[in-house]
A and B are shown apart, each in its own frame.
Chain A
Amino acid sequence: DAGITQSPRHKVTETGTPVTLRCHQTENHRYMYWYRQDPGHGLRLIHYSYGVKDTDKGEVSDGYSVSRSKTEDFLLTLESATSSQTSVYFCAISEGRNSKSEQFFGPGTRLTVL
């Protein structure tokens, strides 16, 4: 998985609790992304980062926040989890330049909100 790890790999939590998912890369890529995958929707971009402390919203950012204090780590936080946030979350990385736009995906985190 191109030097990308996600933790935890599985999590069950209750509605209203905060949850933080971690993505760690060893490739020193500039861009990092968080997607969620749901049946019938494919993968949808939540937030992305184009450098340390530089982040921006994606297509489905409501209810999520992110932080990137180091090149290698990108955190996704659900401030108050809801059942609609039950999903599989994937982190991806990219060098981001035109000739190297490929995104490499991590193994995913399966989150269940009861």
Chain B
Amino acid sequence: QQQVKQSPQSLIVQKGGISIINCAYENTAFDYFPWYQQFPGKGPALLIAIRPDVSEKKEGRFTISFNKSAKQFSLHIMDSQPGDSATYFCAASNTGTASKLTFGTGTRLQVTL
């Protein structure tokens, strides 16, 4: 059972464009929603995270939008750059249960010149 569904599987965006990745979750007990960025041959690294008490969080060019009623959250990358080319994973956890993360299946982003 996939508790966190992520789309699209892959994404090609031109330099300077906006990249949007969407996730939906099922478990209403989730209370922490991070996004991880992974480069080839490396481990995932936390990019940005949000808790359900806010609807949006922005850090530089990266923004998480959160819709609690729809059980959906998304990552927006503004002014996408070739260096943003990586695989992005959304995740969710219930911080009361050892913070175990449930991951989406990943989105491979390619930013072209």
Contact = CB atoms under 8 A, between A and B. Distances in A.
Interface of A: 1, 31, 33, 35, 40-45, 48, 50, 56, 58-59, 90, 92, 94, 96, 98, 101-108
A98 B31 CA distance: 10
B93 A101 contact: yes
Given A90-B43, A101-B32, A107-B43, A43 B89 contact: yes
Contacts of B106: 42
A103 B95 CA distance: 11
14 contacts: A40-B105, A41-B105, A42-B103, A43-B44, A43-B103, A56-B98, A98-B95, A101-B93, A101-B99, A103-B34, A103-B46, A105-B43, A107-B42, A107-B43
Given A35-B103, A98-B96, 18 more contacts: A41-B105, A42-B6, A42-B104, A43-B101, A43-B103, A44-B103, A45-B100, A56-B98, A96-B98, A101-B95, A102-B46, A103-B99, A103-B101, A105-B36, A105-B45, A106-B43, A107-B43, A108-B43
